[in-house]
Amino acid sequence: MKAFPSSVRTVIRLLGSLPGLGEKSATRIAMYLIQKPEKEVLALAEAIIKMKKSVTLCKECFHLADDDLCAICQDPKRRSDQICVVETTTDVIAIEQSGIYGGRYHVLGGVINPLENVGPERLNIEPLLKRIERGGVEEIIIATNPTSQGEATARYLYDLLKDRGIKLTRIGVGIPAGGDIKYADPLTLKQAIESRRVFQ
């Protein structure tokens, strides 16, 4: 590393601290950037600066947005009577990539986690209640992860919302598609059996 100029060492150190990158891959990327035309390299650096300065959270659903509202909340073709409640913005992306869902989202910004001092008041639950109070919501799909914290958060939301005349659903849990029963852990198996459905 000492054989590199200090400006290169700095880039390698900073790139190497990004998730999934170590010193070797950071060095390879730095060498690549040095060889690339200045215009392309500045475009990358400036795109990062622009993203950091412009990205905000959607005022409605707390997903990432460039404007007040995210692309999904701005889209008139999305059903506004369905809200899928997720933990994080990457959950939104995962569900969007499946292409299966046409409603809106609400990003909690985490899960209830007493060990890390995260109570319900730290999550975007108040704004969810306000969205519901404005009316027009017919179904809330609680899509927190099937972990103990995710389940606790789902249960908390269920208790909070159950008397509001809205259909409350929870995403299915069980053996993943393409999975194998003999390799499933006991908890997944238990949940898969509990959430069994009648053949149709």
Which residues of the chain form contacts with a copy of itself (CB under 8 A)?
Answer: 1-8, 10-11, 14-15, 18-21, 25, 27-34, 38, 41-55, 63-66, 70-72, 89-90, 92-93, 96
Look at the block and give the residue holding tokens 């238990």.
190
Q: To the nearest whole angstrom, how small is the minimum distance from the Cβ of residue 19 to a copy of itself?
A: 5
Q: To the nearest whole angstrom, how small is the minimum distance from the Cβ of residue 18 to a copy of itself?
A: 5
Relative to beta strand 167-170, strand 64-65 is unpaired
Give the nearer residue to a copy of itself in terms of CB position, either 67 or 126: 67
- Under 8 Å between Cβ of 66 and 74: no
Amino acid in position 191: Q
Give the nearer residue to a copy of itself in terms of CB position, either 1 or 181: 1
Amino acid in position 54: S
Helices 6-16 and 23-35, axial angle in degrees (round to 10): 130
Give the nearer residue to a copy of itself in terms of CB position, either 88 or 188: 88
Give the nearer residue to a copy of itself in terms of CB position, either 5 or 114: 5
Which pair of structure tokens corresponds to residue 191? Answer: 């949940």
3-state DSSP assignment of residue 62: coil
Q: To the nearest whole angstrom, how small is the minimum distance from the Cβ of residue 85 to a copy of itself?
A: 16
Give the nearer residue to a copy of itself in terms of CB position, either 51 or 187: 51
Q: To the nearest whole angstrom, how small is the minimum distance from the Cβ of residue 113 to a copy of itself?
A: 17
Amino acid in position 129: L
Q: To the nearest whole angstrom, how small is the minimum distance from the Cβ of residue 53 to a copy of itself?
A: 8
The secondary structure of 8-61 as a DSSP string is HHHHHHHHHTSTT--HHHHHHHHHHHHHS-HHHHHHHHHHHHHHHHH-EE-TTT
